[in-house]
Amino acid sequence: MAASELRKIIQAQFHPFVESRGFRKERPASATFTEFRRVVGDRLQVFDVQWDKYQRPRFVLNFGESPAADLLLHGRVVPLAQIGPPECPLQGRLQRRRGGSLGCWFGTRKPLARALLTASLHYPPQEVLVSLTTAFQELEEWWLTKQVGPHIQILR
């Protein structure tokens, strides 16, 4: 399964989904990262969709939260417009499941046990989209309560 098919469905359906929740897509997007941000009260909520660098059909959402103001980071000032997930004091990942391997990322490749049970190696892109939008609700809850769900891994 080609990554381009999964990218198209994410761009066509997930991007409008998060934009309807107040996120703004940042330009320019790179081949690997697409960043979204919104300000809620005095907090900046930001995430990016990070695609596999070898163009395989998988991705992860890196997210973060910081004050909605310029940050002093490692002795330099980072303007609000340039704060992304790596600069945020609170940051994490939204994944298909917790863990550090690429197998934890959202993607079309099924885990071996699931593939054997279903006699199919891949999830359809629409099914990946449904998993992502469902897990995104956990991220929205984390931004409100900081409660970590099964698809969230806090990095710091």
131 Cβ contact partners less than 8 Å away, ≥ 6 residues apart: 96, 106, 123
- pLDDT tens-digit map of 19-42: 999 999 987 778 899 999 999 999
Whether residue 1 is predicted with pLDDT greater than 60 in this model: the reply is no
Residue 10 CB coordination number (10 Å): 20
Residue 116 CB coordination number (10 Å): 11
The pair of structure tokens assigned to 153 is: 């891994």
Q: Please state the domain extents for the chain.
A: 3-154
**pTM of the predicted structure, to 2 decimals:** 0.92
Short-list 79, 94, 99, 13, CA closest to 47: 94
- pLDDT tens-digit map of 49-81: 999 999 999 999 999 999 999 999 889 999 999
